[in-house]
Structure 1
C-alpha cells in the first residue's frame, strides 16, 4: 500500500475534466491540488467548489505544470493544445495523463517523441476502453490461444449526435486547425488503439474519408461555418502477423448511443464485445472431433478491472501494468491516423 499522497493538477475544466476529477475522488491517496483553464470564470467556480486557495487557480497551463506542489497532471483540453502541454510537461519532468489523440499531426508527434527520448517522463494517453472488463477478458483469450490464430479484426464506432436532424452546432471539433482531423481523431483513434491492443502494430492502411455535413451554425457569430474535417472515416488494414482489419466510424448513425463494437475472428472461434455492454463477451467456438459449435455469453465483474487513473498512480509508484497506454502508444496511434489521412487524400495504400 502506498504511503505517498499525490497532489494532482487538472488542466481543462470541461466535461472531461469533471469526469477525471470524479474518478480521482475514488483513489484514496490522491487529491486535486490545483486547476487550470483559459476560462477564468470556470476556474473560479471549480476552485470555490473544491475550496482551493487563489494561488492554486491557474489560467496559464505553463504555470500549473511548473508548480512544485503538483506531483502529476491530468490534461483534458482541445486537440490543438496537446502538443504544447506535453512539450512543457516533458521540459519540466512532470508526469502527465493526457487525453487522446496524441497530437494533431505527425510533425507534432515526431517532435514530442524526440523531446521525450531526450528527457523521458511518466506519461499515459487516455485510451480508456482498455480498462473495460470486456477488453481485458478478450485480451486474455487472445493471449492464451482460445481463439486460435487471429485472422481478422473488425470494429465500428457509431454515434448519432452529428446527424442533420439534431442541428449540432459548430465547435472546435469541426475545425482542422483545432482538431487535426474530425471523427478519426475524436473516436476513430479508439478503434486504432483497440486493434493495437488486441493484435499488434499496423503494417499498412487504406483509408476513405468524407464530410456529410459541410456547414454548421456557429452560435457565437450567428453565422454558418465551414466544416473542414471528416465526419466519416473508413479504413482497411493489415496488422502484424498478416491479420486483416476493417474499420468505420461516424456520428450519423440514427438510434445509436455509444456503439463501439469489436469482433475478432480466429481459426478456432469468434469473439464479440461492445462497450455499451462492458461486462459481456460473446464467444463462439468449434471444438472436438465433430467440431461442435458452442456459443456462450460470458458475464464479467467490473470490479475485477483496475480503474484507469488507479493504474496511472500504480505506474508512478512503480507497480506493474500490462495495459497502460504510454506516450509511445500515443505516438504509434498518431502514425496510423496520419497514414489513414494521407491514403484518403491520394488513394494510395500507406505502409507503416
Structure 2
C-alpha cells in the first residue's frame, strides 16, 4: 500500500496547476501524472511535451479525460465557473477528485456537489492550501490544547498587490463575474474564511460584509479595447462564530508591496497567537505566541519553532486520502460547502446592508 501509485488526470493546466499541483504530483511517491486537459490546444501540447504526456492522453474535452481508463483520480484546476460540471462528471464516473477553491459559483451548486459526493462515498479534497502551512497547523494545535484559553477575537488580513493600476493587469477571468463568481472575496477571502475556521475549530453563525471595486474596466486579453470589471477588488467583513468568537476580515488585491501576505491575530483569555505569511524570497510562515504577564514590559510575543509533525504537502495529502491514511486535516467538499455558504452570505449582506444568519 505504501508504494501504490495513483494515476492522476489534471483538468486545467494554468498557473495554479503549474505552480502548485504539478510540482506536488511530481514530488509524491504515490502520484503519477498520466493525462492532461485544457481548452487551449497550444498550451495543452506545450505542457504535454514538457511533462512527457503522450498525445493520446492530451484532451480538450474533460469528459474524455474522465473516461480515460488510465486515470484513477481527477485533479480539477480550472476557472471557477467550470468546477461544478467537471466535479459532477467525475462523481458520475465514480472517480475520486481534488478541486480548487471556491468549489462552485453558488452555495446551491456546492450543496448539490456535496450531496452527490456523499451518495457515492467518493474520496475527495478541496484545495484550501493554507491548511498545509505548518504555522497554521501549529496554531490549531495550541488553541485546541487550551494554550490561550477561551478565544475571544480573531483579526484576519489577506493582502495582494496585483490588482493595482500600476501593474496594468488585463481583464483576466478573475475580473469577470460570470467566470469567477466574485473577485477578491472568492479569490482570497474564501481562503481567509477557511483558515480562521480551521485554526479555531468553530463554525460561523452570522456575517456582515462590504465589498468595493476601484478599477471598473481593464484591457481585454484579445486587445479589443477595454472591458468592464464586475467583481470586487476588496472586501471587509465581520463574523460571529460559535462560543461568541468575534472575527474581522480585511481582504484586498490593492495591498501595495504585498505579494501574498496573511496575518491572523487570535486573542484569548490566557494568551494570544499571531500567524503570519509573507511570500517573499526566503520567507516562510511564522507563529508567535504571548502567554506571559499582561503587565510585562517590553516585547512579550515570542516566535516559536514549529514541530516537524505540522509540516505537510497538499498533493501528498490527496494521495494519503486516496490510500485511506489521511490525517483528517485537509478540507473536503463538506468544508467547501460551508465556505461557499459564508461567501454567499458576505455578498448578500453587502448588497442588503445587514447581518445575515448562516
TM-score (norm 1): 0.95
How do residues 57-76 of structure 1 correspond to structure 2 at under 5 angstroms? Answer: 57-76=58-77
Aligned to 1:327: 333
1:112/1:304 CA distance change after superposition, 3 Å = closer
Matched residue SS, 1:321: coil
> Could you tell me how far apart the structure 2 residues matched to 1:320 and 1:179 are?
30
Which of 248, 251, 275 is residue 250 of structure 2 equivalent to?
248
Structure 1, 321-330 or 219-228: larger mean CA deviation? 219-228
TM superposition shift of 1:160: 1.1
Alpha-carbon offset, residue 81 of structure 1 = 0.3
Consecutive unaligned residues in structure 1, runs of 5 or more: none
Q: CA deviation at 1:292?
A: 5.3
Q: CA RMSD in A?
A: 1.6
Contact 2:72 2:95 in 1 (8 A): yes
Q: Does 1:86 align with 2:87?
A: yes
Q: Distance in 2 between matches of 1:306 and 1:273?
A: 17
Report the equivalent of 1:12. Answer: 12
Note the 1:30-179 alignment, pairs <5 A. Answer: 30-179=31-180
Tell me what 1:346 maps to: 352
Write the deviation string for residues 192-226 of structure 1: whole angstroms up to 9, x where unpaired. 00111022110000000111111111131431111
Query: Could you say which structure has the greater relative contact order, defined with CA pairs below 8 angstroms and 6 or more residues apart?
Result: 2
Residue in structure 2 matched with residue 295 of structure 1 by the alignment: 301
TM superposition shift of 1:291:
6.6
What is the distance in 1 between the residues matched to 2:261 and 2:286?
14
More divergent stretch after superposition (269-278 vs 201-210): 269-278
Q: Secondary structure at the match of 2:301?
A: strand
* Matched residue, 1:182: 183
Give CA-to-partner distance per residue, 1:81-118, whole Å, 9 cap, x none: 00111111111111111110011112211222332232
1:259 correspondence with 2:261? yes
| CA offsets 1:99-141 (integer angstroms, 9 cap, x no match) | 1001111221122233223223111111010111110110111
Residue 228 of structure 1 is matched in structure 2 by 230
Deviation at 1:295, TM superposition (A): 2.8
Cα shift at 1:68: 2.0
SS of structure 2 residue aligned to 1:28: coil
User: Does 1:317 find its partner at 2:337?
Assistant: no
Q: Give the conservation status (yes or no) of the 8 Å contact 1:9–1:72.
A: yes
Q: 1:300, CA displacement in angstroms?
A: 2.6
Q: Distance in 1 between matches of 2:232 and 2:357?
A: 22
For normalisation by structure 2, the TM-score amounts to: 0.94
3-state SS of paired residue (2:291): strand
Aligned length: 350
Distance 1:158 1:279, change over 3 A: closer
2 CA distance for matches of 1:50 and 1:253?
A: 35
Which consecutive unaligned segments of at least 5 residues does structure 2 have?
A: none
